[in-house]
Each structure stands twice: as structure tokens, then as C-alpha cells.
Amino acid sequence: MKPLARYAALNEYVELCRSLGIDPVGLLRASGLDPAGLSLQDRWVPAAAIAELLEHSSVATNCADFGLRLAERRRFANLGPLSLVVREEPDVRSALTVMSRHEDLYNEALHTRLTEQNGLATIRLTLDIGQPGGTRQSVELAVGVLHGLLAGFIGAPWQPVEVRFTHPAPPDLRAHHRVFGPQVTFEQDFNGILTYTSDLDAPNAMADPQLRAYTQRLLDPVHPVRPATTADRVRELIELLLPTGRCSVEQVARSLGIDRRTVHRRLAAEGETFSSLLDSTRAELARHMVANPRRSLTETAELLGFSAPGNFSRWFRKQHGCSPAQWRRTRASTEVT
């Protein structure tokens, strides 16, 4: 199946777009992403959709360095729960090892490999989004974020020996030199960062030794949070696709990089069907949306993929035994009392 990434990968995306004079909502929807999902940092979406969005955003803003600009706005906390563990590792090598070992907790498409030889450490980043498509902006975002993390670990005035990219140089290198320093090269054989092995031995400037024993215990409960089954991934995609009006098993299969029959077969092996997941996910979303008085029932029907409000009302009554309006009134009176 195609790899997933967390919405946290787009942290500060809206702010960057608006600072460059474009509306991000249309770009998000064109890539099949839900603008409201940006507030759910730990929600998983296809990594290919994020890569596509960043490429389109680069063109729309006429910024060849869009991904790098986004990296400059990134915070350490965007690693999610893993950030609590990594920041307490005693040295840079240990922090990188933990990040590499558990990188699937924040991005299934991103892979990091550290090698050391003759006093030089090479950190290679590869990005596999599971389908053909541009990844220049995603790669620059990933390398920029890695550089920022290393700078935070090692402290000022660290600079890498070299930063390498496989793609050609942009027309303007000012952003790259501002972020990485002067040693940036393009059209190389890998994407990544070279630094001295002695830098990896440097004490992690962010670490508090007294907290490490506690944060290490966080790794055990973290793993179950990530969607691991076909049903989990299908449910996430249903939530993503419902507001676009393109929620079908065929579309879900394309997003997962498999065919429709394979989706049905894998769900059956887990005791689920696409229809049951669609109904249960839609019902859960409907309860939350209908309870919100600021959203009209017509808008709710559209967001849940119904062609007409009447169809939504009939479906809702069948699911919950009352009309959406009655449900909303009941919830409102309950909250008042």
C-alpha cells in the first residue's frame, strides 16, 4: 500500500501561503486534502497527496524554494510524540538513531540512513511516495527539517560540511545559503547532509538526563497510535475523501496503491467491509457535525457526500432514530441543562 504521512508535515503551510499572497484552501482541495484536517496534526493521509500539494504550491507562488521556506517555519514538536523521546537522548548520534528507527511514526515515505567513514558522517534521506510524481519540494522540506534538528541538537555555531540534492539548482540560491550555509550542491547522487563524526558525539544541547528514563517508556504506547491495518487506513481515507465527493472504494484503492478487489479481500480478512466502514465513519462524523450549531445541515450533508439534504436526513434517521434537526435540539438542551 502507498505510504502515509501525518498532517503535521504541513504545519505552517497556510501561514506560508498567505504570506506569499495565495489562498491555500483551493490548493489543498485540488490535491484531495481536507483543509480542516490541518488542525488534526496526527491524522494520516497519503504522502503522495502532500508531495503533490507542495509541488503545486511552488508553481502557484512562483517559489522554487517553497519546501525550504516551509522547513524554516518547522518546530521540533512537529515530530509528534516522538519529539519528547528524541530531545532527551544524550548525544546527537543517539538522537538520530532513535529518529531513524521510529521514523514511521511521523512519515512512512521518509527513510534516513546514517553511515560513518574517515571522520565524516553521511545522513542520506530517501523519499518514496509510492507513485510517480515530483518530490523536489518534499525533499527540500525534509532536508531542511533535518538540518534544523541537527542545529538544535548540536547548538550554534554548527554548520554541515555539505548539503546535497539530486535535483538541479534553483535560479535563486539565497534561501538555500541562508538555511544551510554556502556548501550546498545539486545534481548529486543522493539527498542529505554531510557532517563530521565528532559532531555526532556532541552532547544533545536540548537534553535533560533526568527525563530520559521517563521518555524512553513513551515509545511502547506510541506505536499502536499509528494506523497499522487496512481497515485503519481505509477509515482515514474515507474521512479524507467524504468532503471531496469522491469517496468510493475505487478512489480508496487508488490512494492505497492497490486494486478494488484487494481492498475488499484485505478488509474481509479483518472482518470488515468497505460499506460497513463507510457507514460507521460517516455516522461518527455526522454526530459531531450535526451537534455543531454553526454548521448548517445542508453544508453537513455536502461534507458527508450526500447529493441532497433529504437523502442525508433519511439516512440519519435510519442510523439514529431521529432527524438531524431533532438530534441537534436534543444535544443543545442536554448541554444547557
Under a CB-based contact definition with an 8 Å cutoff, are residues 233 and 1 in contact? yes
Using CA atoms, how far residue 45 sits from 2, 73, 106, 168, 198, in Å, is 10, 21, 11, 28, 38
pLDDT digits (tens, 9 = 90+) for 272-302: 999 999 988 888 788 877 877 777 888 888 8
Q: Of 172, 150, 158, 153, nearest to 68 (Cα)?
A: 172
* pTM exceeds 0.85, yes or no: no
Which amino acid belongs to residue 229? T
Q: Given the C-alpha cell 495565495, which residue does it identify?
A: 22
Under a CB-based contact definition with an 8 Å cutoff, are residues 44 and 226 in contact? yes
Order of strands across the sheet with 184-185? 110-117, 120-127, 191-196, 162-164, 184-185
pLDDT digits (tens, 9 = 90+) for 52-84: 999 999 999 999 999 999 999 987 656 666 666
Angstrom distance (rounded) from CA 50 to CA 33: 8
Percent of the chain with pLDDT strictly greater than 90 = 39
Q: Which three cell numbers stand for residue 32?
A: 484531495
Backbone φ and ψ for 234, nearest 5 degrees, come out as -65, -40
Give the pLDDT of residue 81.
60
pLDDT digits (tens, 9 = 90+) for 162-183: 999 999 999 999 999 999 999 9
Which of helix, strand or coil describes residue 115?
Answer: strand
Residue 184 has pLDDT above 80, yes or no: yes
CA angle 111, 116, 121 (to 5 degrees): 75
Q: Which three cell numbers stand for residue 165?
A: 540534492
Give the pLDDT of residue 274.
93
- Exposed e or buried b per residue across 106-119, where buried means at least 16 C-beta atoms within 10 angstroms of its C-beta: bbbbbebeeeeeee
